[in-house]
A = this chain, B = another copy of it.
Amino acid sequence: MAAPAPAAAPAGKGILLKADPIAAAYRDEVKSMLAQASTKPKLVGILSTSSEPSKSYAEFTRRQCEELGVEFVLKKTGAALEAELGEGEGVEEAIIEANEDESVNGIMVYFPIFGPQQDHYLHQVVSPLKDVEGLHFKFHYNLYHNIRFLNPKSLLETVTTPSGHTTSTIDGEVPPPGMVKSIIPCTPLAIVKCLEYLGVYNRILPYGDRAYGKTITVINRSEVVGRPLAALLSNDGARVYSVDIDSIQEVLAQSDAVVSAVPNASYKVKTEWLKDGCICLNVAADKNFEKEVRDKASIYVPAVGKVTILMLLRNLLRLQQYQRIQEESK
């Protein structure tokens, strides 16, 4: 893995690290998985709102897919298709169609659409066998229970019981026979990969415990980003503060790393509250850290989208494999 290229910075300033070098290693991994795939995987993106960030993300997905050799089909519905249609109109039908289309290997829906509650309903509509974002309940359940491997057939069963699953093995990353890796929600996973790259994870420690000894604050407690991320970090041995935006001063003073994902343009983590030399990651569309964050932080990563998309494509390739296992077992 190439060392990060530090930005030229005034004395006393931390490093501004864009996600490109972190993404690079995973781009190679995805390319090599693609080279080994039996058929070119097909990803369907579903865009159903007039939201500009969602539109940009869809375009970004397309470029990444084209660059890597993944077939990408963007299905527009609702306000994304015609100005007169409602926001989110037809999105559920589009998901069901993609679920049933055997040529489709992965489905990515551009959220937010209706707000957390109804969006959470939509997360469950996507078949877990095609859920490249890892938003289905099954994947969150596995995460919250530190279940790292699963039998691909269990993806089609509602009830998750200990039988047919294997919990964390500190011994290694290799699934036992007949099992595969669970899918991890791609945004939290991208953040973990960034923290690994940045040295918050210690590769000398055993797999499954590499964040041991580190204190990490996660600002955001949604079911999409904050809570699964806190679980991932905790599964890996970190001491985690999973907090909302209020009363964070005390926990920040103790935190080796701070991840912020607050969807609010006016929210800023105060630089003065940060521990000297900490690592800061911004996951929000609008920056959650003050401009002078690097006066305190040793490294600041302003965005992780480039890593997220690679985690998504990696999930796509895994799911393509799970679909084949599923198909063969029929």
What residues of chain B lie closer than 8 Å to A227, measured between beta carbons?
Answer: 118
CB contact list, A222-259 vs B, under 8 A: 222-223, 227
A155 to B156, CA, bound (A): 11
The contact sample of 29 A-B pairs, CB cut-off 8 A, is A92-B144, A99-B159, A99-B161, A100-B161, A116-B116, A116-B117, A117-B117, A117-B120, A117-B222, A117-B223, A118-B227, A120-B120, A120-B121, A120-B223, A121-B137, A121-B140, A121-B223, A124-B124, A124-B137, A125-B141, A127-B158, A127-B159, A128-B159, A136-B158, A137-B137, A138-B158, A156-B157, A156-B158, A157-B158
How many residues of A sit at the interface, in one of the four size bands?
Answer: 20 to 34
CB contact list, A121-142 vs B, under 8 A: 121, 124-125, 127-129, 136-138, 140-141
What residues of chain B lie closer than 8 Å to A159, measured between beta carbons?
Answer: 99, 127-129, 156
- Nearest Cβ distance between residue A85 and chain B, in whole angstroms? 18
A156 to B92, CA, bound (A): 21
What residues of chain B lie closer than 8 Å to A100, measured between beta carbons?
Answer: 161
Copies of this protein chain in the complex: 2
SS class, residues of chain A in contact with chain B: helix
CB contact list, A43-102 vs B, under 8 A: 92, 99-100
Query: Which residue on chain B has the smallest CB distance to residue A159?
Result: B127
